[in-house]
Structure formats: C-alpha cells, structure tokens
Chains A and B, each alone.
Chain A
Amino acid sequence: MPQRTLRFKIYQDGKVEETVEGFTGNSCDEATKNLEEALGEVTVKNKTSDAFVSKQNENFKLTNNESNVSF
C-alpha cells in the first residue's frame, strides 16, 4: 500500500507547479489527468521516474569508487 503524494505550488498569477509521487508505472498520469484538464493547459511535463532510486545508486557507486581508490 504505497502512499500517493501530490504537491502543489500555486503562484500569484495562477501558475501551478505540480509534483506527483508514489505511483507505479504510468498511473501517475491518470491520477492527475482530470485535475490538469480542469485547471487549464499543461505547459511543462517531466517524468521524474526513478529519480530517487538512481540517486541512491549513484551514491552507492560513488562509495564503491572511493573504496576502490583507497585500496
């Protein structure tokens, strides 16, 4: 049972930044499709797929490299 999180920043001019987290596959698109349609026009959309996971891997690799150097 993953937790779904929606984050919004609504600027003074009505521009909205939306971050959708915790969905599997493409279900994140479905989750906010109706809302985005009701709000207006999506001008930028970035998939941040596995951003968190790849960051972790990077750190892991870095640690490995470091340990290689010290050997």
Chain B
Amino acid sequence: MSHFSTIKTHLKESEPLIKALNNLGYTINQEEKFIKGYKGRFTEVDISMNLPNETKAGFKWDSNTNAYELVTDLDLWKFDIPVERFISKITQMYAYQTIISKTKEDGYQIVEQKNKNDGSIELVLTKWDS
C-alpha cells in the first residue's frame, strides 16, 4: 500500500522554525521581545529577528490558528524581498527542516536532494525495514 498526500505547511513548532531562520541567514535577536506590528502597536513576540535594512520582524504563537504568525510593521518593511515572499521562503525551509528531522528520527536516509528550477526542493529518503 502506498499513498500520495498534499500538505499545507503551518509553522507549528519553534525548533524547525528557528532552524529555518538560521538556515536562511536571518539573525535571531534574543534580547528584543517587542516588535512594532499592526498600526504601529508594540507586540510581544516569541521569536524576534533582525532583518537587513533595519527591518524588524518576529513570530508570535497564535492559539487560534495553532501556528506562529509573523508580526511586523508593513510601513517600515524595507527588506528587499516582499513580505509575502519572505513568509513563503520561511515556510518552505520550515517544511524542509521538519521533514529532515522527523524522518531521521524514524531511521530514514536521504538518497537524493535536488533544487529544481521552479524553486521547489525534491527529496527522496529510504529505509530498509526488518
């Protein structure tokens, strides 16, 4: 029996999220816990980042969506990639980190990894079961 699934990734766990941010080269700021967000209001975040061009952003756990949500002041967004693209990049890397760590726990090994022209990442993992 085999199956084929499509999964919509949500930023549900902090560990792969932090790994994803590090992997993409975004610096985590341990000291700053308040980020100017919607309507310039300061919001307490769980993960705070220093982005290029003095752009501030963070992630706050949202118990309604059961996921981390981005907090930033869009008026002050000076980072050279649009915020939507920024979220996409993080979500893709989060999915990658989650897959790598969960399959490793289960004893799988990576046999193939390709970065495709369309920007997607292809991964093949195998395990011989006794």
Contact = CB atoms under 8 A, between A and B. Distances in A.
Interface string A1-34: 1111111111111111111111111111101101
B112 to A, nearest CB: 9
Contacts of B92: 10-14
A38 B12 contact: yes
B98 A35 contact: yes
Q: Is the interface of A mostly helix, strand, loop or mixed?
A: mixed
Contacts of B10: 39-41
Interface string B52-75: 000000000000000100000000
A27 B123 CA distance: 21
Contacts, number: 158
Contacts of A43: 6-8
A50 B1 CA distance: 6
A41 B12 CA distance: 10
Interface residues of B, number: 40
B3 interface: yes
Contacts of B95: 10, 14, 16, 39
Given A6-B125, A8-B123, A39 B1 contact: no
Interface of B: 1-10, 12-13, 16, 67, 88-89, 91-92, 94-96, 98-99, 102-103, 106, 108, 118-130
Interface of A: 1-29, 31-32, 34-36, 38-51
